[in-house]
A and B are shown apart, each in its own frame.
Chain A
Amino acid sequence: MKFDTPAGTNPIDRMKVVGKPLDRIDGPAKTTGMAPYAYEHHREAPNAAYGYIVGAAIAKGRISSMNVADAKAAPGVLAVVTASEAGKLGKGKYNTAKLLGGPEIDHYHQAIAVVVAETFEQARAAAGLVRVSYARATGRFDLEEALKTAPLASGSQDTPPKPDRVGDFEQAFAAAPVKLDARYTTPDHSHAMMEPFASIAAWEGDRLNVWTSNQMIDWGRTDLATTLGMPKEKIRFMSPYVGGGFGGKLFLRTDAVMAALGAKAAGRPVKVAMSRPFLMNNTTHRPATRQRIRIGANRDGKITAIAHESGSGDLPNGRPETAVTQTRLLYAGANRLTSLRLAVLDLPEGNSMRAPGEAPGMMALEVAMDEMAETLGLDPVEFRIRNDTQVDPAKPERRFSQRNLVRCLREGADRFGWTRRNAQPAQVSDGRWLVGMGVAAAFRNHVSLPSGARVRLGQDGIVTVETDMTDIGTGSYTIIAQTAAEMMGLPIERVVVKLGDSSFPVSSGSGGQFGAGSSTSGVYAACVKLRDAVAQRLGYSSADAVFDGGKVRSGNRSTDLAEAARAGELVVEDTMEWGDLDKTYQQSTFGAHFVEVGVDRFTGMIRIRRMLAVAEAGRILNPKSARSQMIGAMTMGVGGALMEELAVDKRFGFFVNHDLAGYEVPVHADIPHQEVIFLEEVDPTVSPMKAKGIGELGLCGVGAAVANAVYNATGVRVRDYPVTLDKHLDRLPAVA
C-alpha cells in the first residue's frame, strides 16, 4: 500500500482498541522473567560455548605483536580468533570503525580478539592471558582543539556542507535592538541501556542463526552479511526482546560478529556478551557539541535573526551531531543561519543516541530562548508564543501539517501553576532550598519508513501478526496488537504478535521515533489485504464488509470471522510505502516541558521537585505506553541536564568513566512523580494511523527546562552541561 494522500475515515478511527490505555501484552512475560533477551536463548542454542572479547588498550596505532598461545593453552579454551585468523572481513554500511580491529587500531577498546571457552569463567580468565604489544600513534582527542580547523559538514548526504541560510542573518543581527550571543557545550553521552550488547551465534552448515539485541533487524542482518562476506539470505537474525537501545543498538556491533566468528572457529554455538566496562568505549556514544547561538529581536519580542552553529567530532568518515536541525523550524524569523562543523577525533565512534541532533541542540537553543526572554523582559512562555510559526520559515508555502506548540505551552503553564514563578531569579525559597521553575519547548520531526507485515487468520479465529519490527521498551508488541485487533474487529486477546525475526517481513525497525507510526501502518496495510481476503472467502463485497465484535457483517448477513479460515488459514503480506506528503507538509511533533527544582543554598545540590510535559504527536495509540515513553525520556533528560558526561582522557583517548558507577544516570531518588498530558489530536497527513512518534519528543528540550529552572532558582547561568553543583556553588546567593 502506498500512502500518498491524507487519510480519510478508516477502521482505526473507531478507537475501540487503538487509543485505549491497555496494559502491555508482553507485561506478564517481562515481569516474571519469562521474556528471553539476547543471551538467554539456551533452548534454541543448547550447549553454547562462551566468548569473551579482548579490547585494544590504545586509542590509535598498530598492534606490533600479539601472543595468544597462553590463552589458547588455558583450561577450557576452544578457540581464539583475531583479525589475522578471521581473514578478510567487510565493514557494514552503518559502521564507521571496523568491528574487529588489528593490526590497525581505530579507537580504544576496539575489539581485537575473542576467546572462546567451555565456560564464561574460563573464557574471561583466558582473555586476560592474551598479550599484546602496540605501537601507539598520535591521536586527536581534544574536541575544542580539533574544531579550530574543522571543516563545515552537512547533516545529510544529499546536501552540500555549507551553512544553511535564509535572508541575511548578519545584517539583521547587527541591526537588532536586542541581542544574545552565547556559547553552550554538551558532553559525550552514553546510551547506557540496561541490557549489555549480547549475541548467540549458531551455524548450521553455511547458514547462520543469530540471537542478538538490535533495534533494526534488516540493517543488522545486512551488515553482518557484509562483514562476514556471505549472502544475507543465509543469516537469520533475531531480537524478540531488546533490553533498551536508545540508538546504541541501531547498528550491528561486535558481539554479533565475534559470536559468529567464534562459533565458526569452535564448531559449536557461541554466546558473547560485552562486559559493562568494555562496552562504553567499544560501542557508540552521543558526540559532545560546542554550540554558538545568536538571536536578534525587536523590543516587542519578535525574532528577526537567529543563528545556530554547532561543532562535534567523530572518527574519519564519521558523521556530525546535527544539533542545529530544530533551529531551522522551531521559531519564526526572517533571517536565519545554521551550520555544522565536524572535526576528526580518534575517540570511540560517535553516532545516534535518542533524538540525535535535537537532544543536545534543544539543550542549548531552549536555554538561549530563556536568556533572550529575560533580556527582553518577557515571560519565557510568552516569548516562545510570540515567535510561533505555522509554516517552514525557509519555505513559507510549506505548512506544518499540525502544530499546536502554543496550546502545549499554554496548557502546561496552566497545569503547572506557572504564574507562581517569580521572573526574578533566586527569590523563592523553601527552607534550605532555593526553588526555581523552568520551561522549554519540545520539538522533533516525524519520519516514516517503509514497513511490512504478514498477517494470518487461523482456523481458531486468532489473528497473528509477523513483522521484523522490534520492541525496545516502546510498546510495539501492544500497539501492533491493538492495530490488528481494531482492523479485524477483534478483542486484543485474539491477536498474537511475533516480532524481531528476519524471517518476517522487513519493517521500519525502531529508531528516530519512526517505529510506532511506521510499523503500525505496515500492519494496517496487511490487515486491509486480510479484510479483502476474508470478504472474498465469505463472498462479501469488501467495500461494505464491517469487521466488528469478532464478526464480519455485510448488509443483513453476518458471519464469524473465524469462518473465513475454515477452509484453511488465510495469510497475506503487505508493506506500507510513503508518497511525498512529508514534502508538501512539514510533519513534526511538539510539546512543552515544565520543571521545578530545588537547589540547596548551602551545598548547591540540585533536586528535581516536579515535572510536567504536554505533548502533541497526532493520535496516541496507547496512552499508557506512550506516557511511559515520555516519562522515560524526561528522566533521560534529567540525566543529560544534571549528571551525564563521558569524561574524555585527552592524553590517551578514551572515556574514563566507562561503567555504571562512573557514568551516572538518574536513579529512583532523583525522579519525582512525573506528569504527562497529550493533546487529543489526529494528523491525517502522516499515515492511516494518524499517529506520530513520541519516543524522542519527550527528551527534546527537557534538559533545558531543568537548566532554566536551576537558573531561576539561583540566578547563576551555567551553559556547560551537565549542570553540576561545582559549576554554580561559588556564585550562589550569599547565605545570611
Chain B
Amino acid sequence: MNTANETTLDGHNQGADNDHEHEPMPTGIKRWLFTTNHKDIGTLYLWFSFIMFLTGGAMAMVIRAELFQPGLQLVEPNFFNQMTTVHGLIMVFGAVMPAFTGLANWLIPMMIGAPDMALPRMNNWSFWILPFAFLILLSSLFMEGGGPNFGWTFYAPLSTTYSPDSTALFVFSVHIMGISSIMGAINVIVTIVNMRAPGMTWMKLPLFVWTWLITAFLLIAVMPVLAGVVTMVLTDKFFGTSFFDAAGGGDPVMFQHIFWFFGHPEVYIMILPSFGIISAIIPAFSRKRLFGYASMVYATASIAILSFLVWAHHMFTTGMPVFAELFFMYCTMLIAVPTGVKIFNWVATMWRGSITFETPMLFAIAFIILFTIGGFSGLMLAITPADFQYHDTYFVVAHFHYVLVTGAIFSIMAAAYYWLPKWTGHMYDERLAQWHFWSSVISVNVLFFPMHFLGLAGMPRRIPDYAIQFADVNQIVSIGGFAFGLAQLIFLAVVIKCIRGGKQAPAKPWEGSEGLEWTIPSPAPYHTFSTPPEIK
C-alpha cells in the first residue's frame, strides 16, 4: 500500500537481521482502527484521555460557575448533581486511567527492550471499547430523567430505588470500562513477566515498569469487585433483588464496604504509575542516580498491600464498631510511612545533584510538593475523630484534588513533556511549556487550597448552593478554576505544535536521562527492539 509511509515510520534501525515480515500498513482511519502497534495504541489512549480531560473539565466549569455566588443561577440542583457525578466518573475512568495505560503502552515495551506488548490484538480491543463506554455514559445525560446524579461513589439506595432510569446505561458503561482496564492490566503483566530483554533482571527494571506491574495486579484484583457492585445495583434497581435494601434483608452500608474495597485500591491505581514517572524524571534533571531504588520498589509493594486494609476510612461516619474504626485508622496512618519514604527518596535524589529546570522537572517538583500536601491532609483525614468533622466537606474535596490533580495529572503532564521528543521527534516549545506550567501551578492552588478552609468552616461537598459566609472563598476558588481550565489549552497548543514540527530531537534529548528508550532514535521507529538489546 503506501510504501512511502511505511518506510518513514519503520526505521529498521534494529539491525538488518530482523526476520519478521510486515504486512503493508493500512492508512487513514483503518490504520488506527485495526492497529496492534503499541505506539499507535498508546497514542490513541493519550488523545482519548486528553479529550476526556477537556470534557470532564467543561463539567467542572459548569460546577464552578454555579458555585461562583450563592443562590441558584445557571443550573437546576438535579443537573448540578449530574455534573458532579459525571465529572468524577470521567476524570477517574476517562482521563487519569487511560492516560496511564497510554503511557504504559508507549513506554513499557521500549523500557524493557520488547518489540511490542505481549497481546497486541487484545490491546486493540481494550482501547476501542473505551470510546463506546463513554459515549453510553455521556448519552445518558440526554435521556429523560437525566444521567447519573448520585455521585461518582453511587451510594445505594440513592443509586438504586431513587435513581433515574439511565442507571442501566451507567452500569453498562462501567462494565465496559472495567473490561477494558482488566484487559489492559493483563497485557501489562504478561508483557513485563515474559518479554523483558535478556539481562533485564527484576531489580534493573525502571521504576515506571515496576509501579505499573504492581498497579496492574491491583487492577485485576479490584475491577471485578467494581463490576460486581454495579451489577448488584443493577439487579436491585431493575430485577427485584435487595442487596442494599433493608426492607428485603439487605444493607445499604454493605454497598459502601464493597465499593470502597474497590475504591481505595483504585486511588492507588491512579497514583502508583505517577510514582514511577517521577522516579524517572527527578534523577534525569538532577543528573544523579535515583536514591534508594530498592526501597522504592518495596515501598510501592507495601502501599499496594496496605491499600486493601484501609477501605473503611471512607466510612467512619456510617456507624462502625469502635474496634473497626480503630483498625482502619491505624492501617490508614501506616500508609503514610511508605509514602513518606518515597518523598524522602526523591528529595535525597535532588540533594547535591546538578539540577536544571526544564518543564518536565518543574512539573515533577510541583508534584512532590503538592502531592505531599495532599498526603498531609490524607493523614489528617485518617484521624477518625477529626474525620468526623472533615468528612463529606470541601476539606475532602481539597485532599483528593491535591493527590489527583497536582498528583496524578501533574505527573502525566510531566511525562508528556519528558517523552514528547521521543514520541514526535521534535522538541516542544520550552517557552510556551513554561507558560503552561506557571499558569497551571498558580491557578491550581488558587483553585484547591482555599477549599481546605471552606471544609474546615463547614461547607459540605456536593451542594449547588451555600450559606452566605462561604461566598467570598467560593468566588476565589471559581476564578482559580476558570484559570486552570484555560491554562490547559496552552498544553494542547504545545503538543500540537510539537507534533507539527520544532527542533529535531536527538535520540537522547535530556542529558541525565537513563533507560533503553533513549538508545533508539527520535521519533521512535514504528517497530523497535525487534532484536532484543544488549543489557549491561
State yes or no: do A and B come from one complex.
Answer: no
